[in-house]
Structure 1
Amino acid sequence: MPHVPQIRIPATYMRGGTSKGVFFRLEDLPERARVPGEARDRLLMRVIGSPDPYAKQIDGMGGATSSTSKTVIVSRSSQADHDVDYLFGQVSIDSEFVDWSGNCGNLSSAVGSFAVAAGMIDAERIPENGIVTVRIWQANIRKTIIAHVPITHGEVQETGDFELDGVTFPAAEVEIEFLDPADEGEGGGSMFPTGNLIDNLEVPGVGTLKATMINAGIPTIFVNAEDIGYSGAEMQEAINGDPAALKRFETIRAHGAVRMGLFKHVDEALKRQHTPKVAFVAPPVDYVSSSGKQVLASEVDLLVRAMSMGKLHHAMMGTAAVAIGTAAAIPGTLVNLASGGSERTSVRFGHPSGTLRVGAEATRKGGEWSVTKAIMSRSARVLMEGWVRVPADSF
C-alpha cells in the first residue's frame, strides 16, 4: 500500500523565560495553515505530539508539560507602529485542542529575538552593539509588548550572566514591557470584572473563599494559601501528586471563571484550562526551592504558587507574573495584603524555583484602577533551528 510522505516546515525551537516552544514564520506554514482554523490546529498538534493519551508527547516536539507544549507564529505586523504580530497557541497534551485565548508571557521574551534573527526588523535599526527595541503586537489579546533585545556585533546576543530562577544556565537579559496589560481575555470591562478588589467566591465542595479576580497579563484568580490548607511554600509534588487537590483547584478555577464573566457555565471553563489562571498567595516564609537553593523570607515580599493547565507550575508563568505585579501595586487586593499592604511599584515574590521581581505602574482615577505597564526581565535562546516534519495527511 502507498505510504504518506512527511513534509518539512521551517521552524525554530526556542526557550523564552521558563518555557519552550516551536516558533514559525507565518509565511513558512503550509498555505491552508496560514489562517485560523482546523488545519492550523491539527498541524500544530501534530508538531507538538498531541493529543497523547500517554501524556508524554513522545511523537512530537512537546515536553509533556504546560511550559513545553507551546507554539508561536510570527509575521510582519499588520498594526501601525508595530514591528511584528505574535500569535500564541497553547497545545493541550492529552486532548484535541489548541487554546488561543491568552498569551504566554515567558515566550514573549523570545519573540523579539526571533524577529531580529528572522530578518523581520529593518537592518538600519539594528546597532552594531547595543539594544534594539522591538514593538510586538500580541494578537491573541490585542496588546502591545516591547522587547529590548541585546545586540552584539550586529546579531542577537543570547549568552550572558543574567540568571533566571527556573532556568539552569545564565543567558543575556531581555527586558520586556507589557503596555496597558489590564482587561485581557474575553471578560471585557474593568481590570476587576466584579468591580471588587476582594470577592467572596462560593465554590461547591470547597467553601466560600476570599478571592481577588483580576484581568491583567492574563485573567487570574488569587486566593489565600491558608484558606485552602497550604503555606504558600509548596513544591510541585505536593500539589501535582494529589489528585484531590488538582480537582479542587480546577473547581475553584471554573467557578471563578464564571464569576469573572469569561464563561457562562462551569462546564465551558472545565474544557479550556489555559485561562483563567488560579494562584494562591501567602506572606513570606523561609523555604528551599526545587533547585536546592534556600529562599529566605527576608528576600521576598510574598509567596505565590500558580496552576497552569491543571498542574502546579514549576516556576511562574510570565502573564501571571504581570497579574501578580499589577495586583501587588493596588492596595487592598489579596496579593497586596500578602506582601504587607503597602503601596509599591515593584514586588519580588517566591515561587517553586526561586524568586522573581516584576514592576507595575498602577493609578486610580474616578474610583477605577488602571495600569500603564508591567515590566520584567527574562532571557531567551535558540535551542535548535531547521525544519519540523509531520505526515502530509495529519492536517
Structure 2
Amino acid sequence: MTTMNSIPCMIMRGGTSRGPFLRMRDLPDSQEEQAEILLNLMGSGHALQIDGIGGGDPLTSKVAIVERSSDLAADVDYLFAQVDVLSRRVDFNPNCGNMLSAVGPYAIETGLVEVQEGTTIVRVRNLNTQRLIECHVPTPGRQVTYEGDTRISGVPGEAAGIQLSFLDIVGTKTGALLPTGQASDTIEGIEVTCLDAATPIIMIDAADLGLSGQESPAELDDHRAMLERLERIRREAGHRMGLGDVSQSVLPKPVLVSAPADDTSTLCTRYFVPHRCHKAIAVTGAIAVATAVSVPGTVANRIAVEAGRLEADGQLPQVKLEHPSGFIDLDVEHRCGNPVDIARVSLIRTARKIMSGTIFYSLPSAPGPDMLTSKAS
C-alpha cells in the first residue's frame, strides 16, 4: 500500500551535478524516513530512475537539504545525500562541493539569507563534515544572477561565477590530514596515499595499475579487473584510515593521478565515485588532491616533483588539475608557509536554477531496513 505525497522543491544544477533542493523543515526528523522519501523521489532501484527525477547517473542522483543554521558562525545548514541509482540506499556521509555551489543561490532565492547589493556572502555549515564554507554569490540589483561569462569544464555554455572558500578542511572525517600517520602506505604491493582534506581519498599512481592516466571514464569503467583491485585497495585503506568497513560507503574516494599532458597543469586525475569514474572531478576530491600536492611524500607530491611543477619552496598556492572533461583551478592558502597547515582552499563554480514547484512521490507504509547506509557525522 502506497500513499502519494508532495513536497516543495527547487531543482538546480550545482557545478557538474544536478538534483533537488529541499528545506529540512519539510522533511521528517528521522534520517531513515528522510532516506525513504529521497529514494522514492529520485526513483532509485531502476537504472533510469524512470519513476522519479534522478538522471540514472550518480552525478544526477544527488539531493541537497538546506535550512537556517543554529550555528552563529553560519547562515544556513546544508546536508548532502548521495542517492544510489540501482540500490535502495542513501549515503549521508560525504559532502558534495558541486551541489554546494547552488546552496548560496538557493538560500537567497528562498529567503533564508537576506540579499545584498553586488555580492552576497552566504556562510554554509556542511552537516556531513561539520565544516564551514563561504559562498560568494553575484547579486547585482539585489537579485541572484545566473548569467555570466564563467566557464567550468563539464558544463556547456557560460554562467555567473560563484566563489567557494572551504575553511578548516583538514580531517573532515578522520580528524587528521594523514589518517594513517604517514604520507605513503603500501596496499597490495602498490604505493598509496591516504589523505583527508574536505573528503577522505586514496591516491594511486595510475602507472602502478598499468594505466597511462589518460584513459576515458568509459574505458576505466570497462576495466573490470582494475576496478575489482581498486575496490580491494579502497576497503583496506578505509580500515587503515579508521573509517571501518567501507563496503557500503562511498568514502574514501579513489583517485588515480599521473603527470599532466598540458604544460600549464599540475596533475592529471581520474576520480572514482567510488565504483565508476567521474566524468570530471568532485570539488571536494579536487581540494584533497590540491592539498596533497604540497605535502612531502604523498603520491601527488612525488608526481608533481617529477613533472617539475613545484616551486622552489616546495609549495604550490595555485593548482590546476586535468580531468576527463577539462580542468579545474584551485587556490590553496597555507598558514605560515606550512605545507600541512591549510587555511583555506578556494575555487570558482557556477550554478543554475532549473525549476521551482512541488514534487510528488509515493511512500510505502513502512521504510525498508537497508535504505540508509551511513548517517552524517
TM-score normalised by structure 1 residue count? 0.87
Local SS of the residue matching 1:270:
coil
| Distance in 2, Cα, partners of 1:244 & 1:383 | 39
Write out aligned runs for 1:114-125 (5 A): 114-123=106-115
Write out aligned runs for 1:128-143 (5 A): 130-143=118-131
Give the CA deviation at 1:362.
3.0
Local SS of the residue matching 1:60:
coil
> Contact conserved, 1:191 with 1:370, CA < 8 A, in 2?
no
| Distance in 2, Cα, partners of 1:40 & 1:50 | 14
Write out aligned runs for 1:358-377 (5 A): 358-363=330-335, 369-377=340-348
Post-superposition Cα deviations, 1:340-383, rounded to whole Å, max 9, x if no partner, equal 34421121011000011112123489x99221111111001111
Counterpart of 2:318 in structure 1 is: 346
TM-score normalised by structure 2 residue count? 0.91
| Distance in 1, Cα, partners of 2:182 & 2:335 | 16
| Distance in 1, Cα, partners of 2:200 & 2:361 | 34
Counterpart of 1:176 in structure 2 is: 164
| Distance in 1, Cα, partners of 2:276 & 2:99 | 19
Counterpart of 1:336 in structure 2 is: 301
Give the CA deviation at 1:331.
3.2
Give the CA deviation at 1:261.
1.1
Give the CA deviation at 1:83.
0.3
The structure with higher relative contact order (CA 8 Å, sep 6+) is 2
Write out aligned runs for 1:1-395 (5 A): 4-29=2-27, 33=28, 35-52=29-46, 55-123=47-115, 126-127=116-117, 130-185=118-173, 187-188=174-175, 190-200=176-186, 202-203=187-188, 208-263=189-244, 268-272=245-249, 274-285=250-261, 297-340=262-305, 341=310, 342-363=314-335, 369-393=340-364
| Distance in 1, Cα, partners of 2:10 & 2:78 | 14
Query: What letter is aligned with 2:294?
Result: A
Give the CA deviation at 1:222.
0.3
> Contact conserved, 2:40 with 2:363, CA < 8 A, in 1?
no
Local SS of the residue matching 2:56:
coil
> Contact conserved, 1:326 with 1:362, CA < 8 A, in 2?
no
Give the CA deviation at 1:339.
2.1
> Contact conserved, 2:80 with 2:96, CA < 8 A, in 1?
yes
> Contact conserved, 2:96 with 2:284, CA < 8 A, in 1?
yes
Give the CA deviation at 1:153.
2.1
Give the CA deviation at 1:37.
2.6
Local SS of the residue matching 2:101:
helix
Local SS of the residue matching 1:115:
helix
Post-superposition Cα deviations, 1:234-264, rounded to whole Å, max 9, x if no partner, equal 111111122222222211211111111111x
Local SS of the residue matching 1:269:
coil
Query: What letter is aligned with 1:361?
Result: E
| Distance in 2, Cα, partners of 1:327 & 1:173 | 26
Give the CA deviation at 1:109.
0.7
Greater CA deviation, 41-50 or 384-393?
384-393
Aligned-residue sequence identity (percent) comes to: 35
| Distance in 2, Cα, partners of 1:248 & 1:59 | 34
> Contact conserved, 2:294 with 2:339, CA < 8 A, in 1?
no
In structure 1, list runs of 5 or more residues that go unmatched. Answer: 286-296
Greater CA deviation, 336-345 or 211-220?
336-345
Q: 1:368 to 1:16 in 2, by over 3 A?
A: closer
> Contact conserved, 1:198 with 1:334, CA < 8 A, in 2?
yes
Give the CA deviation at 1:36.
3.2
What is the number of residues matched between the two proteins?
A: 359
CA RMSD of aligned residues (A): 1.7
| Distance in 1, Cα, partners of 2:294 & 2:108 | 33
